[in-house]
Structure 1
Amino acid sequence: MRGLSSAQVAGLAVLAIGVNLDATLVGHLLSVAAAAVFTFIAFWRFLLVGLTLQPAAKPPEPERFPLYTIVAALHDEAEVVGQLVRRLAAIDYPADRLQGFLVLEADDAATIAAAEATRRPDWLAVLIAPAGEPRTKPRALNHALSQATGELLTVYDAEDAPDAGQLREAAARFASDRSGRLACLQAPLRIRARVSGTTSPFIDRQFAAEYAALFEVILPGLARLGLPFPLGGTSNHFRTGVLRQVGGWDAWNVTEDADLGFRLWCEGWRAGVITRPTWETPPGDFAHWLPQRTRWLKGYLQTWGVHTRRPWRLGWRGLFALAMTIGVTLLSAAIHAIATAWMTAAVLVAAMAGLWPQVPKFSVGVMLLGALSAWLVCAMGAKRSGLAYGPMQMMAAPAYWSLLSLAFAHAFWRLIREPFAWDKTSHRSDPLDEAAPDGLSAPHAAAPEPVS
């Protein structure tokens, strides 16, 4: 992992010199700046909600369906590989225009055996990634990219249930692009109820609302403004030639998707969104949720570090988008628990003393404005994705946001100790899919039941 750039070192040096000269003044200026930043973030969220109130017009289907490559990189997924094959077989796209790869690691004997034993459509092949380092999903995806012949390419995860018409919509959007600069489209990811396995209703519901806010409001709003954004790890659709041109995925970044969204922008390309969703299961209880969120935040730290080494490559609009997505996520996760603990302690101490809480009114106002904007984005995203998000979920949200601070601390420590280690999320098969054992007889995917 490379060290800090001269620009990053200079910024830290200025801060250190300022603290050394007058720590009180610097602390005051930082607190004022933080209040201004979080006020701006709140109004930015209100703007994104407003931008996405009207749905975008859907383009007509293309006259010619381009060859499409579907890639799913799997590791230790013997239990769900048959389920994934059934879901991919249900995609509504001309079969003679499809190429697909299940990319597996050479030493993953169980998943290889399960994939070979599953009856697959003719266009879907098993592809073994050669041995090497790092052992990450993006490295496996790059191997598949080297074998892809499709004009377009999409990525799915082991637990995904994509809408049957997703490829058709993406192909239509690419065909209708008049600018010639549209390189990627992100489908919304929606969380459905886990039928079996370890669950946590509190985490599942908050995780689903978090996804809804991101994929139903924030990313569509950024797309309408023509700004770059961090891609989701699945259900992104690319022009294959452009993906090769920018070097594919960064095999050392544990959120390779977030990094790729901004690398495309640096090369003059842009990203958009489509409406046909992909359904996923929530990670489950705290023991499964924490590694997943740790990996996300560790990868966001990596991405922030990479793209602030030479921030001028992004331009002011790209740098603004980086700050309002990656930067805001990291900053919020870092201080959620601190702010919540400060507010709770102030109220409890005052209550025990029989006094009115002595807290700065402006700071409390900023916190409430931020919470209101976050609730609104979650509520709007939940409405669009069919989730229940009412007063109980809103009251529980600060506790979930505080858990993100724990994940951030864990991510920061792991970045130092094990920067490239991949915290894999375990997946369980869905019993509702077991009615189609041969892998080819499943009907087109219907919308699974969302978390409520």
Structure 2
Amino acid sequence: MTERLLAFLILCLVAGAPFGAALMWTGNLILDFVFFYPLFMSGLWTFGGLYYWLHWERFWPWSPDAPPPTLKGTPWISILIPCHNEAEHGADTVLSALNQRYPHVEVIAIDDGSTDDTGAMLDRLADTHARLRVIHLARNQGKAMALRMGALAARSEYLVCIDGDAILHRDAAVYLAAPLVDHPRVGAVTGNPRVRTRSTLIGRVQVGEFSSIVGLIKRTQRVYGQVFTVSGVVAAFRRGALDRVGYWSLDMVTEDIDISWKLQRDHWSIFFEPRALCWILMPETLRGLWKQRLRWAQGGAEVFLKNLPGIRAWRHRRLWPMALEYCVSTIWAFALALSMALWTTGLFVALPGHIQVETLMPPAFTGMALAAACLLQFCISVFIDHRYEHGLFRALYWVIWYPLAYWLIGLLTTLYGFPRVMLRRHRARARWNSPDRGIKAPTS
């Protein structure tokens, strides 16, 4: 009952804050927040990413053919690959893990109740590769359980976790493990996923998203100390840190967001390693993209509500900027929805002046500033990322359309997913659902 009451109060706060603002302020002031918030975040991500590059990244040597860094003591690295119905793409993923140039690597593939030929495919690979071990789970237990089983079977303290359809760069594992080896308080390292599904407009636009938005967000969050989530498709963990926090939760829709917060609540740091490249498959249909982003939105809401009561303590103050950013972005979604509702209502009914929204078009100056900020953001992100992926400038045309899609998708998934999570009584075991993996997946 207490948790349900807390959820109800938070919902009132999030949904009611813009409504209360509408009663106190003019509709134009609400629109100022609606339009200026994306402008502010674009500027924050741009300058945060640029600072990260100037302070750290530009001094890091990297090229596709450069030798990988040397790890102190040459420890073993365990690469965990949870698989569910990956018969089509799984072999390439396993081989990319086995072909790491760092010699002390073991690969553990976990077949989590697949209903296709995934298990047989993994067994055939294990027969010819001594460093590959396969764990078979009788039925679908979910990615979190598969990762748990892999972690318990691993021989190394350093665990690199990738999805069953991802392709690792040949030095990605060692780049991910290096911060764990060099910094004893680092609990996880998130890699740099790159999109390889580009046969539709949706796929091409996501190429720009992962450079100009996701990459800059990770860099910016690393600058102010906390990362909202590791990339679930490619990340490394210290097993001792996982053991302290109880490993991955079995009832969370997005286990990657949850483990990130659990580690940081236990005062472990999370680093971002842009040189740890991983080529991934992304949805290329609207239906697939909606399902993916709705799952992300629901997962973020679950983790936020789960952790909100516990992070109020002063010892968790480093998590406050991350929580505040999530709160404001959620309020923005409801503020925009309220503005649209008031504008639509005003077309048919005469509303009081203090809640009248006359237009949803931004002022000319605001629109120009937002367009200029987005263009600057794209140019800086392409400049930073071009050494990791050639040809990014060719994607610039598609990238400039992404802000509209990014904020629109964020709006819709938040409006649908946040209340859905808050009003749900119980969380069930999170299990696999085969995602949309694109129409055409060229290799890197």
- Does TM-score exceed 0.5, indicating one fold? yes
Shift of 1:371: 5.2
Q: Secondary structure at the match of 1:306?
A: helix
Gap change, CA 1:264 and 1:200, over 3 Å in 2: same
Q: Do residues 90 (structure 1) and 122 (structure 2) align? A: no
Gap change, CA 1:187 and 1:21, over 3 Å in 2: closer
Shift of 1:229: 2.8
2:125 to 118, 125, 128: 118
Deviations 1:72-108 (A, max 9, x none): 11111111222222212211121xx323211112463
Native 8 Å contact 1:335 1:405 kept in 2:
no
Shift of 1:124: 1.2
The whole-number CA distance in structure 1 between the counterparts of 2:90 and 2:2 is 37
Gap change, CA 1:50 and 1:382, over 3 Å in 2: closer
Q: Which runs of 5+ in 2 are unaligned?
A: 62-68, 347-356
The whole-number CA distance in structure 1 between the counterparts of 2:107 and 2:222 is 28
Gap change, CA 1:278 and 1:398, over 3 Å in 2: same
The whole-number CA distance in structure 1 between the counterparts of 2:341 and 2:101 is 50
Q: Which runs of 5+ in 1 are unaligned?
A: 347-356, 434-447
Identity percentage over the alignment?
19
Alignment of 1:345-356 (within 5 A): none
Alignment of 1:125-144 (within 5 A): 125-129=133-137, 131=139, 135-144=141-150
Partner in structure 2 of residue 209 of structure 1:
208
Q: Secondary structure at the match of 2:3?
A: coil
The whole-number CA distance in structure 1 between the counterparts of 2:2 and 2:97 is 39
Q: What amino acid is the match of 2:196? A: R
Shift of 1:395: 4.0
1:189 to 193, 196, 205: 193
Alignment of 1:273-292 (within 5 A): 273-274=272-273, 275-292=275-292
The whole-number CA distance in structure 2 between the counterparts of 1:160 and 1:50 is 28
Gap change, CA 1:328 and 1:69, over 3 Å in 2: farther
Q: Do residues 163 (structure 1) and 164 (structure 2) align? A: no
The whole-number CA distance in structure 1 between the counterparts of 2:260 and 2:304 is 12
Partner in structure 1 of residue 112 of structure 2:
105
Native 8 Å contact 2:44 2:220 kept in 1:
no
Native 8 Å contact 1:215 1:381 kept in 2:
no
Gap change, CA 1:189 and 1:431, over 3 Å in 2: closer
Gap change, CA 1:4 and 1:310, over 3 Å in 2: farther
The whole-number CA distance in structure 1 between the counterparts of 2:285 and 2:16 is 44
The whole-number CA distance in structure 2 between the counterparts of 1:16 and 1:273 is 33
Q: Secondary structure at the match of 2:187?
A: strand
The whole-number CA distance in structure 2 between the counterparts of 1:282 and 1:192 is 8
Gap change, CA 1:159 and 1:295, over 3 Å in 2: same
Shift of 1:373: 3.8
Gap change, CA 1:32 and 1:431, over 3 Å in 2: closer
Alignment of 1:144-293 (within 5 A): 144-177=150-183, 180-194=184-198, 199-201=199-201, 203-274=202-273, 275-293=275-293
Partner in structure 2 of residue 350 of structure 1:
none
Shift of 1:260: 1.6
Using structure 2 for the length normalisation, give the TM-score: 0.77
Indicate the larger mover: 300-309 or 113-122.
113-122
Using structure 1 for the length normalisation, give the TM-score: 0.76
Shift of 1:42: 4.1
Shift of 1:228: 3.2
Q: Secondary structure at the match of 2:80?
A: strand
Gap change, CA 1:93 and 1:327, over 3 Å in 2: farther
Q: Secondary structure at the match of 1:126?
A: strand
The whole-number CA distance in structure 1 between the counterparts of 2:338 and 2:369 is 17
Shift of 1:32: 8.1
Partner in structure 2 of residue 320 of structure 1:
321
Shift of 1:338: 8.0
Shift of 1:153: 0.2
Shift of 1:241: 1.0
Paired residues, number: 411
Q: What amino acid is the match of 2:229? A: P
Q: Secondary structure at the match of 1:85?
A: helix
Shift of 1:372: 4.4
Native 8 Å contact 2:378 2:399 kept in 1:
no
Native 8 Å contact 1:66 1:171 kept in 2:
no
Partner in structure 2 of residue 424 of structure 1:
434
The whole-number CA distance in structure 1 between the counterparts of 2:360 and 2:22 is 21
The whole-number CA distance in structure 2 between the counterparts of 1:106 and 1:360 is 49
Q: Secondary structure at the match of 2:133?
A: strand
Partner in structure 1 of residue 308 of structure 2:
308
Native 8 Å contact 1:187 1:235 kept in 2:
yes
2:75 to 58, 66, 91: 66
